[in-house]
Amino acid sequence: MRHFLTLKDYTKEEILEIIDLAFKIKKELKSDTPKTYLNNQTLGMIFEKSSTRTRVSFEVGMYQLGGSALFLSSNDIQLGRGEPMKDTARVLSRMLDMVMIRTFSQEGLEEFAAHATVPVINGLTDAYHPVQLIADYMTMIEHGKTKDPIIAYVGDGNNIAHSWLMLAAKLGFELRIASPRDYECDGRIIDHAMRLAETSGAHIRFYHDPKLAVKDADVITTDTWISMGQEEEKAKRVKDFKGFMVDSAMMALAKKDAIFLHCLPAYREYEVSEEVLEGPQSVIFDEAENRLHAQKGIMVWLDQKRK
């Protein structure tokens, strides 16, 4: 049995296998021949933070696959009142077929998974958002951006940046991350990615000047400057991220046919201008739709691994 906690645990072949499966399931849905791969299975979805895409894509994905999904807000379950992760994991494993968790610490998620006897999926932690990257790479494939691509991530060295690091390190592409000083990615995650890059051939570079990072890029991407849980730092962050908005001038430095990705939700005129977000290079809604297909690929893959 496997969990899906970080791309660190996955080989390049496995990541591509999940993506192939997600495309197969997407094609079946679009051609009106959907298959119910997870008949009568139940997914529990624990949310300790807000969500639109992750919640809806997992919930609808599970219904479309023939199963059902339970939304478990931490405000409503005993976890929110201090019941330990390890107890919750063992109880839910007796009743559910799979669990998705959106929580704060990666360690908490890993503790849950260590005690679960059903597959556990990371629906975002402070450290990683791996399900998002499956959808992002699918979107790159659909827009013809996977042949020796240069990806430029402009912004906070957060969970999304860390997930890009892992994806690049595993698949072996060029990734440039530009962040303001003091907002760089976690040093341990960088070290891990750099070690992996030695074998995969990934070129990973870090910048403080976003203009250098986006030069001739095939994909420009960013994320909010204020992640969930950082609301009190908003004023300081907005000041510190000055010059990091992806606007038309920045897009113009990339390749002419570069695409713009954003995991969403987006904050206009902060990390991205309205013009770029709504402009012709932006493929954010293809990316958002792919969340649905990606989650299905991940769930069906995990189900197949336990058989």
Active site residues: 102, 129, 132, 223, 263, 291
282 binds ligand NVA (CB under 6 A): no
Tell me which of ligand CP, ligand NVA, none is bound by residue 158, counting a contact when its beta carbon lies within the kind-specific cut-off of 5 to 8 angstroms.
ligand NVA
Nearest distance from C-beta of residue 35 to ligand CP, angstroms: 26
| Residue 174 or 289 with smaller CB distance to ligand CP | 289
Among 48, 59, 218, 223, binds ligand NVA (CB under 6 A): 223
Q: How far is the CB of 163 from ligand NVA (least distance, A)?
A: 10
Q: Quick one: tokens of 43?
A: 């997914």
x-or-dash string of contact with ligand NVA, 141-180, rule CB under 6 A: -----------------xxx--------------------
Which residues here bind ligand CP, judged by CB under 6 A? 51-54, 124, 132, 263-264
Cα–Cα distance measured from residue 120 to residue 123, given in angstroms and rounded to the nearest whole number: 9
Q: Which of 154, 156, 158 is nearest to 125 (CA)?
A: 158
228 lies in the binding site for ligand NVA (CB under 6 A): yes
| Residue 263 engages ligand NVA in binding (rule: CB under 6 A) | yes
Choose the one of ligand CP, ligand NVA, none that binds residue 223, judging by a C-beta under 5 to 8 angstroms depending on kind. ligand NVA
> Could you give phi then psi for residue 187, rounded to 5 degrees?
-60, -40
What token pair was written down for 198? 């030695």
Query: Quick one: 132 or 139, whose CB is closer to ligand CP?
Result: 132
Q: Quick one: residue 267, left, alpha or beta (phi over 0 = left, psi -120 to 50 = alpha)?
A: beta
Q: How far is the CB of 126 from ligand NVA (least distance, A)?
A: 7
- Rule CB under 6 A: is residue 222 a binding residue for ligand NVA? no
Strand order in the sheet with 120-122: 68-73, 42-47, 98-102, 120-122
CB of 223 to ligand NVA, least distance (A): 5
Judged by beta carbon distances under 5 to 8 A according to partner kind, the member of ligand NVA, ligand CP, none in contact with residue 29 is: none
Nearest to 292 by CA among 119, 113, 131: 131
Residue type, 280: P
Q: Which does 179 bind (CB under 5 to 8 A by kind): ligand CP, ligand NVA, none?
A: none
What does the DSSP 8-state code read for residue 2? -
Of all residues in this chain, which one has the CB nearest to ligand CP in the complex? 54
Q: Determine the Cα–Cα distance for residues 260 and 76; give it in Å rounded to an integer.
A: 37
**Interaction partner, residue 224 (ligand CP, ligand NVA, none; CB < 5-8 Å by kind):** ligand NVA
- Residue 52 binding target from ligand NVA, ligand CP, none, CB below 5 to 8 Å by type: ligand CP
Q: What is the secondary structure of 134-157 as a DSSP string?
A: HHHHHHHHHTT--SS-EEEEES--
The CB-of-59 to ligand CP minimum distance in angstroms stands at 11
Smallest separation (angstroms) from ligand CP to the CB of 268: 16
C-alpha 65 chain-centroid distance:
21
Here the contacts of 237-242 (C-beta below 8 Å, separation 24 or greater) are 237/156, 237/183, 238/270, 240/180, 240/182, 240/183, 241/155, 241/156, 241/180, 241/183, 241/270, 241/271
- Binding region for ligand NVA (CB under 6 A): 124, 158-160, 223-224, 227-228, 263
